[in-house]
Amino acid sequence: MTPPDQLPLPWLDQTPTPGAPWPWPAGPALPLSALDRAFAAFLQQRQPSADARHAWLAALTSHQMGRGHACLDLQGLAGEPGPLLGWEAPDLAALPARLAEAAASLPWARGEASPLVLADQRLYLRRAHEAEQAILAALRERLAQPCPVPAELPALLARLFPRAASGTGVDWQKVACALAARGRLTLVTGGPGTGKTTTVMRLLALLQSQARAHGETLRIHLAAPTGKAASRLGQSIASALTRLPEDMRPGIASEAVTLHRLLQITPDAGQRPVPVLASDLVVVDEASMIDLEMMARLLAAVPLSARLVLLGDKDQLASVEAGAVMAQLCEGAAQGRYRAETLDWLREQAGEDLTAWQEPREERGSALAQQTVMLRHSRRFAEGSGIALWAQAVNAGDLAAARRLWAGLPDWQVPAAGAAAQELTRLAPARLPDARFAQCLRQGWDQWLSGLAPLRSDPAVSCGDSEALALLRAFGAFQVLSALRSGAWGVDALNARIAQSLGLPEQDWYPGRPVMVTRNDYNLQLMNGDVGLCLPRAGGLRVAFATAGGGVRWVLPSRLDAVDTVFAMTVHKSQGSEFAHVMLVLPDRPSPVLTRELLYTGITRAMQRLTLVAPAPEVLWQAVQKRVLRSGGLAVHDQAAAPHKTRNTP
């Protein structure tokens, strides 16, 4: 069967008759989808153009949208089209000369209802441009809003962040809470283990305590882009509550929902007005996963009277859909760029000196930069740990450091009896199956397989709740991650190989089959990303899922119509999760999706141990050097936005 993107389109393939639209340029099979070509064909049919470059620009704008870019960057197209488009030299040779210059005469980018929009050397689909402009307008309006600052803020911060006698350096969590207390919008970014959730828990305590002191109770909403991330946010806050002073615990929300549920996104959502939330404080975790249109809807839904706090790691993988909102909004966060008045306010209210992060004298930090905080100290990895060093080298694109680290990695071996497992190891199998690869899998899941053995050997055994929870914990301690879904080293092939290596069936339902939910099911209270285990019960096989309250939800396999086997999962699916031991599997050849952001995300899912599987190490080097630079205009936010306004409450 002919792939959809290779189906012939008459307008593209036929020689035109006089007066008819011109044909698509002849040349090699280009990496343009059927949708990209059809979009250009549609515009040409509706409003013919004699300039062949115009259809190219329309198709490339659609192409870039499909790759996650908000727009087609015309400067990049004129300068370095290869990295911009993700094309190799043979494909680039088909591009017309002086292509970017043709945007100035593009007939489909004129008028208020044009399908394309040309703005500042960027060419957008109108829908993407409107979403981006809505975000920028909402940010400016929100940043300009006056916000009451608790009069007792210094005392509350001192209670929540007691300074240790030997404490040195800036307490960035304290800074984040202080800035969030004074603003209607706050961005908090930081790597794994830097305390983003802990910061939010203390912020909730601070603001709710202040409100209760005045006889009020804040209406709080917690959300995340996926069900898995929402569940983890709620669990993290609930477990962290015990570390708060007892009198500051009441009124702190710990139930989080998906953004889809919070914003009432349904198939007909585009036909209805965006709902305005009845909320005083909205906190959204894993904000790096939020795409352009979702962010526009979120900003429209949160009333200007409420505080909005966005948490995320700006260096992680961006959203699956178009946009890199968090990364672009947090651009420059590592440098701080705080104005003198912001530094004075933080010194007075929080007792923190951020002079080293003041904006350069010749510049003026944007209003958004004054409400952006980067958490810098990771509590997940010990300073100088192997995982931390790998994460730093990959995130910085430091190829020399990555090569040194790889050369210093020991080959994975079966640990000797009584010996501690090594933190970092490597495997470089030429192909699968591979004996040591299978040994590593069995060793990683040794505890889980031992607990599962009695349930598989005796069909009459019924698994109880406590046993199911123990098995779920044991399985979740080790995870195989892959960059790809298809191919010999992709998730689909790996799941079959792993099941075979563990002596388990490759399909159907059987005791021990791990599955991941791939679509939210509110009737079953299961979210996209939830992982369960098929286990024997008195009435037959059931799938056990851990609940937020520490219990088990048992579900009939026949009711799960949207699940995948999950011995291995993609790095994308692992976002928001963490595992004691991660096996990160790379393919044996380059792939467009293999970038430093993907490597960084996969590496930082590991808390204690990491095994890198690289059948072709040169693929690793290429990924370290390849950075995702999504095109868009959010990073060019208004440097002259109104200065932040605050006032103290009585």
Residue 375 dihedral angles phi and psi, to the nearest 5°: -80, 135
When the pLDDT of each residue in the chain is averaged and rounded to a whole number, the result is 86
pTM of the full predicted structure? Answer: 0.83
Between the CA of residue 259 and those of 275, 299, 323, 380, what are the distances in Å?
12, 12, 16, 27
Band of pLDDT at residue 12, cut at 50, 70 and 90: very low
CB 470 within 8 A of CB 546: no
pLDDT at residue number 20: 39
pLDDT in tens, 134-170: 999 999 999 999 888 888 899 999 999 887 544 568 9
Which tokens in the block code for residue 299?
A: 């900003």
Q: Which residues contact 163 (CB under 8 A, 6 or more apart)?
A: 171, 351
Band of pLDDT at residue 101, cut at 50, 70 and 90: very high
Which tokens in the block code for residue 557?
A: 């396999």
Distance of alpha carbon 527 from alpha carbon 519, whole angstroms:
7
Helix (H) or strand (E) holding 185: strand 185-190
According to the per-residue pLDDT averaged within each range, which of 18-32, 369-383, 630-644 is highest?
A: 369-383
pLDDT in tens, 300-343: 999 999 999 999 988 887 777 777 888 889 888 888 889 999 99
Which tokens in the block code for residue 60?
A: 């490339």
Band of pLDDT at residue 18, cut at 50, 70 and 90: very low
Mean pLDDT for 481-504 is 93
Q: Greater confidence, 269 or 500?
A: 500
pLDDT at residue number 137: 94
pLDDT at residue number 501: 92
CB 337 within 8 A of CB 357: yes
Percent of the chain with pLDDT over 90: 51
| Burial class for 10, CB neighbours closer than 10 Å (0-12, 13-18, 19+) | exposed
Axis crossing angle, helix 196-213 with helix 227-240, rounded to the nearest 10: 60
| Burial class for 423, CB neighbours closer than 10 Å (0-12, 13-18, 19+) | middle
Distance of alpha carbon 309 from alpha carbon 311, whole angstroms:
7
Alpha-carbon dihedral sign for residues 412, 414, 419, 420: positive
According to the per-residue pLDDT averaged within each range, which of 84-98, 238-252, 459-473 is highest?
A: 459-473
CB 35 within 8 A of CB 58: no
| Burial class for 17, CB neighbours closer than 10 Å (0-12, 13-18, 19+) | exposed
End-to-end CA distance of the chain: 72
Distance of alpha carbon 198 from alpha carbon 192, whole angstroms:
12
**Is 90 exceeded by the pLDDT of residue 117?**
yes
pLDDT at residue number 195: 83
Distance of alpha carbon 482 from alpha carbon 209, whole angstroms:
44
**Is 50 exceeded by the pLDDT of residue 638?**
no
**Is 50 exceeded by the pLDDT of residue 21?**
no
CB 607 within 8 A of CB 380: yes
* CA 175 remoteness from chain centre: 24
Band of pLDDT at residue 621, cut at 50, 70 and 90: very high
Between the CA of residue 545 and those of 536, 548, 561, what are the distances in Å?
14, 10, 15
Helix (H) or strand (E) holding 299: helix 292-301
pLDDT at residue number 40: 93
Band of pLDDT at residue 246, cut at 50, 70 and 90: confident
**Is 70 exceeded by the pLDDT of residue 14?**
no
Span of 396-400, 448-452, 575-579 with lowest mean pLDDT: 575-579
Peptide bond into 250 cis (omega under 30): no
**Is 90 exceeded by the pLDDT of residue 495?**
yes
Band of pLDDT at residue 44, cut at 50, 70 and 90: very high
pLDDT at residue number 3: 38
pLDDT in tens, 573-607: 888 788 999 999 999 998 888 888 999 999 999 98
Mean pLDDT for 357-365 is 73
Distance of alpha carbon 491 from alpha carbon 587, whole angstroms:
11
CB 321 within 8 A of CB 69: no
pLDDT at residue number 363: 64
The Cβ-side half-sphere exposure at 353, using a 13 Å CA radius, reads 4
CA 412, 416, 421 angle in degrees (round to 5)? 55
Mean pLDDT for 221-234 is 85
